[in-house]
A and B are shown apart, each in its own frame.
Chain A
Amino acid sequence: MIRKPLLAAGVAGLLALTAACSGGGSGEGGAGALTYLTFETPSLTSTFWNDSIAAAQKEAAGVKINRITAPSTDRDAYAKQLQSSGQFPDLLQSITPSNFVGAGLLKPYDKTWVEANFLLPQGNALKGEVYIPPTNSQIVPQVYYNKELFAKAGIAQPPKNWAEFLDACAKLKAAGVNPIELGGADPFAAGMPLVGIISADILGKNPKWLQDRYADKVKFADANVVTAVGKYRTLVSNGYFDKGALGVKYADSITRFTGGKSAMYPMGSWFLGAVPKDKADSFGSFPWPTDDGSVVVPFVVGGSMAISAKTKDPAGATKFAQAWSLNPANLKLLIETDGAFPMLKEKTLDDYGVTVTQVFKDSYAYVTEQNNKVSAIGWATNDDSLPPGLNDQFYAASQALFTSDDVAGELAKLDGAWKTATQ
C-alpha cells in the first residue's frame, strides 16, 4: 500500500511540474508588477518596447512592469488564450477592444483626459467609451504608385476616379508593367483591394453601413455591394494583378513594389515606413478611387494600450498607460517605421523630431484635411469593428474572388458567417 506521505509527495511533485510548465511572462518585474502584453516586429523591436516602458515608468513612478510578448502579431488571439487560462494581462498593446469589451474585460479611459489630449477623441470609441488612447491613425488602404513606371506608360497624373484608374491599369499593362502588386499569400494583404472598394464605394456613401449591417438593415449580398466588389473581379479578369499573386508573401510584395516590379500597391499607410529613403521621390500616393472621383479616406484610429478591467492596480496601470501614450518619443519610431500618423493635440510633425519622406507628408495631408473619412472595413477598432471571426472570412473571400467569378456567392457566405458570429 502506498503510504499517504508518498502519495502527497507524488501529487506535490506533479503540481510543481504543472506550475513550472504554466509559468508565463519574462520573469522580470517581481511581485506586484503589472503584466503588459506587447508584440514584436522588425520595426517594433524588444529594445523599442523596453525603452518605451522605461520612459513611461519615469512618469509613472513606482509602477513595475512585467512585459510579455505575443508569439505572433495576432495579439487578440493570444490575449484570448491568456484570458481562458486565467492570465489576462493588466495592459494590452494594440488589441481590438471590441473583442473584449463585451466580456467586460477592459476599463475605459477618463473622457476628460482623452478630450484634452487627442485630435479625434472619439475616433475609436465603442458606445461612447474610449478603451485605447487615439494616439495615431492609419489610412487603410491608399494606393501607392511608382512615378517612373507611370511616366513609362504615358500616365501624366495619378487617377482621380475609377474610370481613370482602369485606364491607367490598361496603359501600364500595355507598356509591359504589372499594374497592381498584391501580397495575396498573406490573407490580410490579399484583402486590401476589397477593403478599399467597400470602404470607398459602400461606406463612403453610407458611413453607418456597418451599424446598419449589425441591425440587419443591409447585407453583403445586396446589389450595391455585389456591384462594388465586381470591380475587383474586373481588375483580376483584366489581368491587372500578377497571375501568381496569391503565392506572393506580404514581405515580398513590398520588395517587389519598391523594386519596380509593379506600378501600384494598395496597402495600409504602414507601408510608408518601408519606402526606401534614397528612392522616396519616386513614389506617390492617392486615395482608393471612387466612381465620381470624390475623396473617401478609409481610416483607423488607435495606437496605444488597453487596460484590463480586472487589473489589481487600476491607478498604476492608468498612470503608466497615459504616460506611455503621451510620450512623443514612442510615437517618433511609430511615425518613422510604421507610417503612423500622430494624433496628439497641439503638435506638428516637427515636434516629434522625425525624418519623413514627401510621400509620407502627402499621405498625412489626407488625415489633417477635412474630407470624407470612413471606417476602414475589417480594420476599425470602434463601433464599426467586424464581429469575431469575420475578418478571416473577409480575407478568405478576397482570396476566393481572385479565382472565382461568384461574387454574389462569396458575399452571401460572408452574410452567413456574420449570422453565426453574432448569434
Chain B
Amino acid sequence: MLTGAATPPDPARPAPRRTRSWLPAARGDRGLFLLAALAFGPYLMFLVLPLLLSLRSSFTNQNPLRATNEFIGLRNYTEMAGDEQLRASLAFTLTLAVGVTIAANVLGVAFAILLNRTSLSYRVMRTIAFLPQVLSGVIVAFVWQTILTQNGLLNSMLTGIGLLDEPYPWLGSPRAALFSIGVVVTWVLSGFTTVVYLAALQGIPVELNDMAEIDGVRGGQRFRTITWPLIAPGTTISVTISLITVLKLYDIIAVLTGGGPANSTQSTALYIVKLAFTSDRVGYASAVAMLLLALSAVAALTVTSALRRREVSL
C-alpha cells in the first residue's frame, strides 16, 4: 500500500535527510521495488548475461565439444573481413530486410485504412489480418512450403488454369527463393503493421477528418496532408520493429529453404547457427552474432531518428 505518500508533512519538523534516495522509503514501495527487481532479474539472466557471455566467447576459439577455450584476441573479427559466406548472408539479409519492411508497411497502411471501421465484419477481418502474426514461424513456413514446392498448391493451380506450362521453382532458384521468402515474411509482418497503423489511425481526432470533409479535402490529398503526418509515430514503431524482425530472421528460412539453394537464402542468423553447431565454431559464430547485433542497433537507431523527425503532435 502507498500509505506513506498520503501523510501530510509536519511543518514544525525539519525535513528528514534524504539518504540513499534511490531506495523507496515506505514498505509498500519496497514491494514495488522487489517486483521491479524480479522483473529485471530475468532480463539480466536471460538477455544481458548471455549477451556478455557471447561477447566474451567472440574473443575465443570456443568449440561446443571442447571443455576449454583459448583467448584469440580479435582474430574472429578480422576473419570476418574475408568471409565470403558472411558477406553473402549479410547481402541477402539486408535485401530481404529492406524489401520486406517497405512491403509490410505499405500493406499495413493500406489494410489499416481499409479496416478502420467499427462494424462487426471489419472487426472479424482485422482478426484475420492479424492471424499470421500469432502463428509460430515454423508453422507458417510449413504451410507455405506446401504451397510453394514444385508439386505445391501454387504450381498446381497455375498449371491447372494454363498460366504456366510447367511448374515454376518458387524455392528452387536463388532469385525466386528470395522473392518467395519475402512474400511469406511480408504476409506474417503485415498483420503486425496493420494493427499498429490501425491504432495510429484511431488516434487521429474525428474533428480533423470532419473539417477536412467540409473543406472538400478527400482521397489522396487527405491522406497526404492529414493521415500520413499523423500516423508518423506508428510508422516509426512499425518500420523499426519490422526491420529488426527481418534482420534476425531464422525460423521461417530454416524450414522453407534451409538457406538453399546453394546458400543463396542463408540469412546471417541461420549462418550463425550453422557455424556454431555444424562447423563447431561457437567463438566465430559469437563474433558474427555481435556484428549482427551492432548492425541491428545501428539500423534501428538510424531509422528511428530519421522517422522521429517527421513525427508531429497535435
Contact = CB atoms under 8 A, between A and B. Distances in A.
Interface of A: 1-2, 6, 10-11, 13-14, 17-18, 76-77, 80-81, 83-84, 99-100, 102-103, 105, 184-187, 190, 242-249, 252, 255-256, 388-389, 391-392, 395-397, 399-400, 402-403, 420-421
A246 B45 contact: no
A102 B280 CA distance: 12
B169 A247 contact: yes
Contacts of B170: 247
Q: Which 7 A-B pairs have the closest CB atoms?
A: A247-B172, A389-B279, A247-B169, A246-B172, A103-B65, A244-B169, A400-B262
Interface string B31-50: 00110011001100100000
Contact of B149 (A81, A102, A185): A185
A388 B263 contact: no
Interface string B158-173: 0000000011111111
In terms of DSSP, what is the predominant structure of the interface of chain A? helix
B277 interface: yes
Interface residues of B, number: 43
A389 B278 contact: yes
A17 B46 CA distance: 11
Contacts of B279: 388-389, 392, 420-421
A130 B149 CA distance: 41
B30 A244 contact: no
Interface stretch (B1-9, B112-120, B197-205, B253-261): B253-261
Nearest to A15: B45
Given A247-B172, A388-B279, 8 more contacts: A10-B34, A77-B278, A84-B64, A244-B168, A247-B170, A249-B150, A396-B260, A399-B262
Contacts of B188: none
A248 B274 contact: no
A187 B150 contact: no
Nearest to B38: A10
A389 B45 CA distance: 31
Nearest to A88: B65
Given A1-B23, A389-B279, A247 B171 contact: yes
Given A185-B172, A249-B149, A13 B65 contact: no
A256 B151 CA distance: 9
Contacts of A395: 260
A13 to B, nearest CB: 7
Contacts of B168: 244, 247
Contact of B65 (A80, A252, A256): A80
B260 A246 contact: yes
A185 B65 contact: no
A392 B273 CA distance: 13
Nearest to B279: A389
Which of A83, A242, A244 has the most chain B CB within a 10 Å cutoff?
Answer: A244
B38 to A, nearest CB: 6
Given A103-B66, A184-B172, A184-B261, A389 B37 contact: no
A6 B34 CA distance: 8
